[in-house]
Amino acid sequence: MTIGISDLAFATAHQVLDLQQLADVQGIDVGKFYIGIGQSQMSVPTADEDIVTMGAEAAAQILARHGSDGIRTLLFATESGIDQSKSAGVFVHGLLGMGEHCRVVELKQACYSATAALQFALGIVARDASEKVLVIASDVARYALDSSGEPTQGAAAVAFLVTADPALIEIEPVTGLHTDDIHDFWRPNYLSTALVDGKYSLAAYLGALEGAWNEYQSRGGFAFAEMARFCYHQPFTKMAVKAHDRLCKIVGADLDKDQRLAQISASLELNRRTGNSYTASIYVGLLSLLEHDDADLAGERIGFFSYGSGSVSEFFTGVVRPGYRELLRTARDAAVLDNRRPVDYPRYRALHESVDAVQGADFETAAETTGPYRFAGVVDHVRRYEKLG
Binding residues for (3S)-3-hydroxy-3-methylglutaryl-CoA: 29, 143, 242, 276
Strand, helix or coil at 44? coil
Q: Is 94 strand, coil or helix?
A: helix
Helix axes 281-292, 330-338, angle to 10 degrees: 120
Angle between helices 19-26 and 345-354 (to 10 degrees): 90
Task: Give the closest residue to 317 by CA, choosing from 334, 300, 302, 332.
Answer: 302
Would you give the distance in Å from CA 136 to the centre of its chain?
9
Q: Which of 14, 49, 111, 352 is catalytic?
A: 111
Active-site residue 233, yes or no?
yes
Classify residue 69 by its DSSP letter: T
Active site residue 111: yes
Instruction: Report DSSP state, residue 140.
Output: E
For the chain, list the strands marked E by DSSP: 3-12, 15-18, 41-43, 71-77, 103-107, 132-141, 154-164, 169-179, 185-186, 195-196, 229-232, 301-308, 312-320, 341-342, 363-364, 373-379, 382-387
Known catalytic membership, residue 178: no
Q: Which of 79, 131, 269, 314 is catalytic?
A: 79
Choosing from 14, 178, 233, 352, which is the catalytic residue? 233
Q: Round to the nearest angstrom and report the end-to-end CA distance of the chain.
A: 41
Q: Could you tell me which residues are annotated as the binding site?
A: 29, 143, 242, 276
**Active-site positions?**
79, 111, 233
